[in-house]
Amino acid sequence: MTRASSRRPGPPTRTERGIPEATVARLPVYLRALTALSDSGIATASSEDLATAAGVNSAKLRKDLSYLGSYGTRGVGYDVEYLRYQIAREIGVTQDWAVVIVGIGNLGHALANYSGFGTRGFRIVALLDADPKLVGERIGDMEVRDFAELEHIVETDRVSIGVITTPAGPAQEVCDRLVAAGVTSILNFAPVVLSVPDGVDIRKVDLSIELQILAYHEQRKSGEVALPQVPELPATNALTPDLPAVGGGVIA
């Protein structure tokens, strides 16, 4: 509340062309839905059609789109190609983004083999690993290179996005190197909380967390009322009594 002139309750905030985060997260879904419609030869779609294709409700979709501008036509709907272009431009996928992947193990290999990135908006410019045995291996039309080349590659290819698929242990160190080299957006698959300086964006993908969230809901579907019995509180902060061993491990 220090700036932003005189803000009354008003709309969500929308700081000078700033789009609400929840909306930003849905734009890629709309983009994909539009592409699907386009591929089906559909030229115009109503908010209802689009909302169905994107799995949201139509009021939300219209409000989301309204943050970008007025790209629809009342009584008609949206021109699929035109809207697709507008969203792509807003997200920034009209240009190509250079990406490096660090840690070419199980997951790194899968990502490297994946054609979905290359096709649209993202270009993988390097696969990096610290393991000398992996360096030089060919994956598709790329070759695994030594992690030491990071700084050089980032500078040469103007890399702004880094993907971390190393084990949890070295992830923070790798992250620091990426940031120092000039990478300002990071997608992290390692199950650790990474800390980055201001100005660097970080997102994480965490399988174990997703499964655990599902487990929570699953538990309450079946058990419903019958939750496992709670062991009595420890008398004081006594040195941990014998509780069943349970997980959520650091390695998980």
Ligand X SMILES: NC(=O)c1ccc[n+]([C@@H]2O[C@H](COP(=O)([O-])OP(=O)(O)OC[C@H]3O[C@@H](n4cnc5c(N)ncnc54)[C@H](O)[C@@H]3O)[C@@H](O)[C@H]2O)c1
Partner DNA sequence: AGGAGCTTGTGAACGTGAGAACAAAATCGG
Partner DNA sequence: CCGATTTTGTTCTCACGTTCACAAGCTCCT
Which residues belong to the annotated binding site? 103-108
Comparing CA positions, the residue from 71, 57, 67, 49 lying closest to residue 13 is 67
Residues 6+ positions from 97 with CB-CB distance below 8 Å: 121, 122, 123, 160, 161
Of all residues in the shown chain, the one whose CB is closest to ligand X is 105
103 binds, among ligand X, DNA, a second copy, none (CB under 5 to 8 A by kind): ligand X
HSE, CB side, 13 Å, CA atoms: give it for residue 158.
4
- According to CB under 7 A, which one of 42, 73, 173, 193 is a site residue for DNA? 73
171 SS3 class: helix
Residue 56: what residue type? V
On whether the CB atoms of residues 113 and 139 are closer than 8 A, the answer is yes
Nearest to ligand X of 24, 130 (CB atom):
130
Binding mask 92-131 for ligand X (x = CB under 6 A): ----------xxxxxxx-xx--x-x------------xxx
Q: In the complex, what is the shortest distance from the CB of residue 119 to a second copy, in angstroms, rounded to a whole number?
A: 6
Nearest to DNA of 9, 132 (CB atom):
9
Asked if 77 interacts with DNA (CB under 7 A), we say: yes
HSE, CB side, 13 Å, CA atoms: give it for residue 11.
11
Q: What region does 66 belong to: left with phi over 0, alpha with psi -120 to 50, or beta?
A: alpha
Binding residues for ligand X, rule: CB under 6 A, are 102-108, 110-111, 114, 116, 129-131, 134, 147, 165-168, 170, 174, 189-191, 207
Which residues make up the interface to DNA (CB under 7 A)?
1, 7, 9, 11-13, 20-23, 46-48, 56-60, 62-63, 65-66, 70-78, 236-237
